Amino acid sequence: GASIPRLAWSNLGRNRRRTAFIMLSLTLCVVLLNCAGTAADSVDVEKETAFMIRTDFAVVNTASSSNVRGFFRRSDALRAETVADIAARPGVTGGSAIYKNTAEDTNVTYDFGHPLTGETFVMEETGLTFGSDGYRSFGLGDDGRMLCNVYGMEEAALARMDLREGETDAHILYEKMSAGEGVLVGVHIDRRDMSLVPDLDLVDVGQNITVYKNGSPVMKLPVLAKAAQTSDDAEIGYISSGPLKTGGDGLNLYLPAGVYEELYDVPTVYKYSFDIEEGCEAEMTAFLEDYMEKTDPDMNYLSAREARESSEATQRMIRFVGGFVGLIFGLAGVLNLINTIVTTILTRRHEFAAMESVGMTRRQLTGMMVWEGVYYAAGACLLGLSLSAALNLTLVKRVVDSMWQFTFRFTLLPALGACGALLAVSAVVPVLALRAFHQGSIVEQLRVAE
């Protein structure tokens, strides 16, 4: 006799438009779920966290944690008592107070031979004069030279930076800088591929930078190395308002704390960064929260855990939104599949009774309907997996690669999971439907059908 699977396959051709519609809706479910899963898996939590913060904790004044204001006044300094209290806590390692020049340090300027067009404007918020080269803006000091954004730090903080060019041994570099032999320059990066931005890479390794104080040259510092500058190297988190209000697009210079303190009349600490020993994180978080509430309300902090949770929240949101849309299409497809199977059973009851009258068993009839349902799901799955793979390697990869927080990771696991669910539903629904509507003897079924 005829093969039950072949008989079920031939039945799909009775209404090709309906078959195509059901398969298409199921396919969309598979594809959308997989695209959302690929995008979510491609969220690079560690990459985003490392860009926001290089240490376990970073403590700042509240001004530094405001994207509107940012750190640019001496009054925005982190209190020395706050730094001392945190440094004295058990478990603190690699602590470093980091200095930053302000809009009030206008007597210290820098000359690295970059020409300005002569067009200037005054920033109302800071009162600073800014010059331009036609493309970038630079904060200017009392003598008309550039202020730049200048940082002073301990070796522990410098060792965490991403040294790209010149001297890349952090210890040797810091020793040379401490001896007055040169300076480290930070260059903003293109976050998509973490390369240095050419338009903001204004000096070369070995080039001299002349430092002026009160209009007179006080030292000449060759560029010893370049570092890829993250948001944490500039201010904190994603905030960069302060540097833009002080040095603008000028050089980002990193000096040893000792040299910085000698150069600036009022050395201002803007951040204290540190790591914490394993098992002490919860205690430190509780201490900082309590300290902010009771001792220093002008203090704020960012932790690596918070930065990581922020990135993971983005990941969960993508999964939820993409999964929700995919489930809507999947639900529509499953409902169509259920409707088709139930309608088929109701409209073909006479046909089924006739088949049984010539020898087909209930088991064979159920098997035929199960195969029909499985064929619907299997066709959608094969098409969905193929489209998912193609879209992953083209459209999804292109979109993911355009966003720096993502690192493309190919996966078909969401599609395989969706296919498993669809195949299970397509096999179970015909069995339940036949039990509900296909009852009684053959004669009774023929009478009902008539």
Q: Rg of the chain's alpha carbons, rounded to an integer?
A: 34
Looking at residue 449, what is its pLDDT?
Answer: 46
- Which residue shows structure tokens 């409209």? 347
* Phi, psi at 338, each rounded to 5°: -60, -45
CA distances from 314 to 39, 139, 303 (A): 10, 36, 17
Pairing type for strands 183-190 and 162-166 reads unpaired
User: CA-CA distance, 361 to 385, in Å (whole number)?
Assistant: 35
Pair 303, 317 in one domain = no
Looking at residue 358, what is its pLDDT?
Answer: 63
Domain end among 307, 322, 345: 307
Could you tell me which residues come within 8 angstroms of residue 236 by beta carbon, excluding any fewer than 6 positions away?
A: 53, 58, 60, 64, 65, 271, 302
Domain end among 265, 290, 307: 307
Looking at residue 91, what is its pLDDT?
Answer: 92
Which of 322, 337, 361 lies closest to 424 in space, CA to CA?
337
Looking at residue 365, what is its pLDDT?
Answer: 72
Q: Count the Cβ atoms, other than its own, within 10 Å of residue 73.
A: 18
Give the ranges where 154-302 is alpha helix by DSSP (H): 155-158, 170-178, 231-234, 241-246, 257-263, 281-294
Pair 32, 64 in one domain = no
Pair 31, 62 in one domain = no
DSSP secondary structure string for all residues of 141-156:
-TTSSB--EEEEE-HH
Pair 237, 288 in one domain = yes
Pair 299, 324 in one domain = no
Pair 163, 228 in one domain = yes
Pair 354, 415 in one domain = yes
Question: What's the predicted TM-score (pTM) here?
Answer: 0.75
User: CA-CA distance, 434 to 431, in Å (whole number)?
Assistant: 5
Looking at residue 321, what is its pLDDT?
Answer: 80
Pair 103, 114 in one domain = yes
Are the C-beta atoms of residues 370 and 10 closer than 8 Å to each other? no
Pair 285, 402 in one domain = no
- Which residue shows structure tokens 């490392």? 50
pLDDT digit of tens for each residue in the chain (450 aa)?
A: 457 777 667 666 566 777 777 778 788 888 888 888 888 888 888 888 888 888 999 999 988 887 778 899 999 999 999 999 999 999 999 999 999 999 999 999 999 999 988 788 999 888 899 999 888 899 999 999 999 999 999 999 999 999 999 999 999 999 999 999 999 999 998 887 788 988 889 999 999 999 999 999 999 999 999 999 988 888 887 777 889 899 999 999 999 999 999 999 999 999 999 999 998 999 999 999 999 999 999 999 999 898 888 888 888 888 788 777 767 776 776 777 777 777 777 766 666 666 666 666 667 777 777 887 788 888 888 999 999 999 999 999 998 888 878 888 999 988 898 888 888 888 888 888 777 666 555 445 445 444
Pair 167, 86 in one domain = yes
- Domain of residue 171 covers 51-307
Are the C-beta atoms of residues 103 and 72 closer than 8 Å to each other? yes
Lookup: tokens for 270: 């803007």
Total number of domains constituting the chain: 2
By residue count, the chain amounts to 450
Are the C-beta atoms of residues 29 and 324 closer than 8 Å to each other? no
Per DSSP, the three-state class of 202 is: coil
Pair 202, 180 in one domain = yes
Looking at residue 400, what is its pLDDT?
Answer: 86
* Phi, psi at 378, each rounded to 5°: -65, -40
Domain end among 307, 335, 368: 307
Pair 362, 433 in one domain = yes
